[in-house]
A = this chain, B = another copy of it.
Amino acid sequence: MISILILGKGKVGTHLFEALKNKENLQVFFHNSRVLKDLPKVDITIITVSDDAIAEVSEKLDLPFVVHTSGSLPVSELKNKSRKGVFYMLQSFSKEKEVDFSKVPFCIEAQNTKDLNTLKKIAETLSENIYEIDSKQRQYLHVAAVFANNFTNHMFSIAESICLTNEIPFPILYPLIQETAKKIQILKPKEAQTGPAVRNDKKTIKNHLNLLEEKQKEIYKILTNSIQNGN
């Protein structure tokens, strides 16, 4: 039996508690991070508060093993005097949408093998995608995820805006978007690259630039340039 305290009742904490609460061999407590009195003496404390609050919350904890769930911060952000680690779920959580944890990659880090195994055991109750990722790698993974998720979503947002302005139903682009996302599981993104930039189709590029608003044009140019220069 592993006893777990989840601290912080935001999106991550709530989804994680819901996912873990009925698992065999886990005993899960769920606390708001504002009142840190009378906490249960658990094997592991998972802090799910916002990045800014991790240092402050962890400093007040007198518990044996504390991990945070941040993708961008190193394990040293934790200020508890006991053992430390990271339990980072590489997924974008939203309140509106249920999380299928079986597909979530768990990125774990700890300072000794026993703690690493504890994190692995917890993650294994939810997913088969478990990776040991150290603090330095995790920083890079986090910025890679910004490109793969946040910036990609922004591309969709611009596409939608162009459609709306021209009375084109945005769902017309859904199959292309799904295909684009699936393709890179078969081909490397660089090999999967299509379109006027990689073909250096100057006529089409010029036509496209004429259709776009100033800000869109700037983005179109810089990304076309980046595709053509292979970076």
Point out residues on A near B: beta carbons under 8 Å: 51-52, 72, 90-92, 94, 96-97, 103-105, 107, 129, 131, 133, 136-137, 139-163, 165-169, 171-190, 192-198, 201, 203-204, 207-208, 211-213, 215-216, 218-220, 222-223, 226-227, 229, 231
Contacts and interface: CB of A to CB of B under 8 A. Distances in A.
18 contacts: A51-B201, A72-B196, A90-B172, A92-B195, A96-B187, A137-B167, A139-B207, A140-B163, A143-B220, A146-B220, A149-B195, A152-B177, A156-B184, A157-B190, A158-B226, A174-B184, A181-B181, A219-B223
A15 to B, nearest CB: 13
Contacts of A143: 162, 208, 211-212, 220
Nearest to A142: B208
Contacts of A97: 183, 186-187
A185 B189 contact: no
B140 A152 contact: no
A140 B94 CA distance: 31
